[in-house]
Amino acid sequence: MSALIVTIGVILIFNRKRLLQWMAHDTLSVDGAWIMMRIVKIFSNFGRTLVSTVRADNPTRHVAAQFVVFCAVAIGGVLTILNTSGLDPAQDNLGRPVDVVIMIIVIGGVYGVVTSQSRLAAVVALSTVGIAVTVQIFALGAPDVGLTQLLVEALTVLMIMLVLQKLPLKFGRGPRYGQKWAALLAAGAGLSAGLLVWSLTGRRELTPVADYYLTEAYEETGGANIVNTILVEFRALDTMGELSVLGMAGIAIIAVVSTVRHSTMDPPPEKDRNFVPPPKVPLRAAGSTASRAIMEGWGNAVPLQLLIRVTVPLLAAISAILFLRGHNSPGGGFIAALVGSSIVALIYLASNRDHQIGRPRLPVFLIGVGILLALGTGFWGLIAKGSFLQPLHGYAFGQNLSSAMVFDLGVYSAVLGLVMAAFNLLGATTDSDEGARERADEAYEGELMAPLETVRGERPVMAKPRTRHLSSGNAPSRTGDDS
């Protein structure tokens, strides 16, 4: 082998002139730079094509691709199952007459949402769908989930109503060329989802995991409410992830509002394109009962102010009971927090003018404490049992106690903070003492005299020792003059 290599080397040396001429010759019509430019151009054109599919403010463009992929996967997957192994026979007694009634109500509500020109009417139709689904859940024998759905539906509708204050009364008319495609895509996605539900649910017996939960959950956790024990013990890590998402939603509301200046967030009526003047209604003379009921808010708030004197203590007691009994009966931290949040909603609605519920920093404090309690429970189990979020059990006064109650307390705190942040920020109006922007600033800075001039990401310039605002004439950021 060595002799062969030496021989080849000698031949190359004696023919090096020919070799150099061959190497110096342009064997290709293009060079490396041209090839690189062509590659960059191809990928740039490909990227522009992909971006063009979602390069629009219309949300339809953004979800259309996802819906198309979903329909393709759903229909293709079901057809593959039908052509290979086939579907298992459906279980008996899956349908009842009440299901047909609920389905008709849901279809009517959905039709009202998609055809209504009034935003208020669309919200009412949407709430009809939510209530019908709640009835369906209770009919299926799931009180925990049904109560959760009912409370979430009520609070969500109230928050949507608060948002409607800053929006036009009616929806803008969409382009005609896109409505048919959007309707076709929506119908396809709905039918695909229905096809998946029909083909993949109600066709098998209990899985080994489900059977294990039913037979061993009480022995493992000491709790008779299998729904709650699954949420806070068996899959506590998933629940902590959901808790973090809820907490981040509250922080995101504050952060997003902080990116909009006060003059844009709450403009005066003469600059607000969505401002709608009060309607001219033929009423009795000013000062009469009919006139006050329409033109002034305090008269409508008085009955609710009388009502909350009874309902607030009652709801507080129900919230505490649901929290304490959640391990053994329908209840738990999330449902109890929703009941507690309804107290916040009632107090807010009982006022004839918008006002902030609680101290400015309280929502962020509650969210932070909730997440810290959940993390603390996890590390407590890690130190004591060697597994993160491993629940600890003990007995006191003849009652089985679990560290999952501390975890539930974290859920309660974070949910309450989220609801308070939503009501405080979304409910602010132009006639409020404080605008939405000022409340977002106060959620981090504490009490302010006026909203900051800066937006989120900019450091506010504030008066400090050794600053020269008065001598230089540069006002600090807390003046609220952001026009």
pLDDT, position 319: 92
Under 8 Å CB-to-CB from 391, ≥6 apart: which residues?
A: 221, 232, 233, 236, 381, 402, 403, 404, 407
| Cβ–Cβ under 8 Å, residues 432 and 297 | no
* C-alpha pair distances (Å), 263 with each of 203, 258, 269, 385, 434: 58, 12, 11, 55, 13
pLDDT, position 172: 72
Query: Which pLDDT band holds residue 414 (cuts at 50, 70, 90)?
Result: very high
pLDDT (mean) for 172-197: 81
pLDDT, position 415: 92
30-77 residue pLDDT tens: 677 888 898 999 999 998 888 877 777 677 777 888 889 999 999 999
Residue 200 token pair: 């993949």
What is the rounded average pLDDT for all residues in the chain?
A: 81
- Top-confidence residue, 57 or 361: 361
Residue 279 CA to residue 294 CA, distance in Å, equals: 10
Residue 306, pLDDT > 60, answer yes
Query: Which pLDDT band holds residue 224 (cuts at 50, 70, 90)?
Result: confident
pTM given for the model: 0.75
pLDDT, position 192: 94
The percentage of residues in the chain with a pLDDT greater than 70, rounded to a whole number, is 82
Residue 298, pLDDT > 70, answer no
Helices (H), 116-232: 119-139, 143-164, 176-200, 208-221, 226-229
Residue 354, pLDDT > 80, answer no
121-138 residue pLDDT tens: 999 999 999 999 999 898
Residue 95 CA to residue 104 CA, distance in Å, equals: 14
Task: For residue 399, list its beta bridge partners.
Answer: 396
- Top-confidence residue, 149 or 480: 149
Lowest mean pLDDT among 214-218, 415-419, 460-464: 460-464
Residue 116, pLDDT > 50, answer yes
Q: Tally the C-alpha atoms within 13 A of residue 243's C-alpha that lie toward its C-beta.
A: 30
Residue 187 CA to residue 193 CA, distance in Å, equals: 10
Find which of 29-33, 154-158, 263-267, 302-306 is predicted with most confidence, using mean pLDDT: 154-158
pLDDT, position 369: 93
Q: How does DSSP classify residue 287?
A: T
pLDDT, position 104: 93
pLDDT (mean) for 171-195: 81
Residue 446 token pair: 């504490």
Largest Cα–Cα distance in the chain? Answer: 119
pLDDT (mean) for 206-223: 84
Residue 112, pLDDT > 70, answer yes
Tokens 């409508």 locate to: 300
pLDDT, position 483: 38
Residue 269, pLDDT > 90, answer no
* C-alpha pair distances (Å), 284 with each of 279, 280, 298: 15, 12, 18
Query: Which pLDDT band holds residue 256 (cuts at 50, 70, 90)?
Result: confident
Lowest mean pLDDT among 47-56, 226-235, 282-291: 282-291
Lowest mean pLDDT among 114-123, 316-325, 408-417, 453-462: 453-462
Q: Tally the C-alpha atoms within 13 A of residue 469's C-alpha that lie toward its C-beta.
A: 10
Residue 241, pLDDT > 60, answer yes
The percentage of residues in the chain with a pLDDT greater than 90, rounded to a whole number, is 20
Residue 218 CA to residue 237 CA, distance in Å, equals: 20
Closest by CA to 334, choosing from 236, 253, 222, is 236
Residue 331 CA to residue 323 CA, distance in Å, equals: 6
Residue 10 token pair: 């000698």
